[in-house]
Structure 1
Amino acid sequence: MAEQTPQNDWDIKPELYQKDSQGSFLLKKDGTPKKKAGRPKGESSRGYNFHSDTKAKIAARRSLRDKQKKLTALEAKVRHVRTSVKKQRTVQQKLDSGYQDNVLVEDSDLELLPKATQDVVKDKHVI
């Protein structure tokens, strides 16, 4: 079998090595080319490993933050439902007393009521 000669890294990836103005490699004392310092562009970094105590603290903060977000979302939903119920209650009170007092209901208020009630009231009391 033919014996394979190992290729040098500077032959495979010459862009990772320092070059002078003529384009030839800058050599170290032992005669091999100098590598460029730092991480090559476009390559991802190695990342960072946190200690287990730090990971636990980060996880605790994250879970608290997620629960806080859920809480604010639920509070917003409750607030929306409360205002909807309040508006619907006032419209219903207008309709209950409106037959005697000729109270008129706006079309935007009528959208809060159930569909069956909308159909009955739409002809008589809506502007």
Structure 2
Amino acid sequence: MSGIWQTDITYIQLTNHRWAYLATVLDPEKRKVLGYKIGNTRTAELATSALQMALDNHQKPLIVHSDMGSQYTSAEFNIKCQNYGLKHSYSLKGHPYDNETLTQVQAAIGWYINFYNRNRISNVA
């Protein structure tokens, strides 16, 4: 078993001013998306499908961490966690990063800056 997975929903504005929603499950230790689902509504099914994809293809974690959005506090999502023996932890309202230490934040930002400066695709020669 791995330690913890994080999950969230990202809002994506379409050219017609409508929205699409991307639910992802991330392994922060591996810095890898393990499961995802795209839909036109923010539902418990969207969040649960992303978790199921991750569970189908990866060794289950001990903990799944999310915000307190209705998708993640739903019975559907919590039953999925219970069925797989996963502990579900939540961020406090208005504090999505409350479970991150300064060391974790520094490492994540350092990694991103290194990626941004050295690895990303750029049109500048």
TM-score, shorter chain, exceeding 0.5: no
Bigger Rg, which one: 1
The two structures have a TM-score, normalised by structure 1, of 0.21
Higher helix residue share: 1
Q: With CA pairs under 8 Å and 6+ residues apart, which has the higher RCO, 1 or 2?
A: 2
The two structures have a TM-score, normalised by structure 2, of 0.22
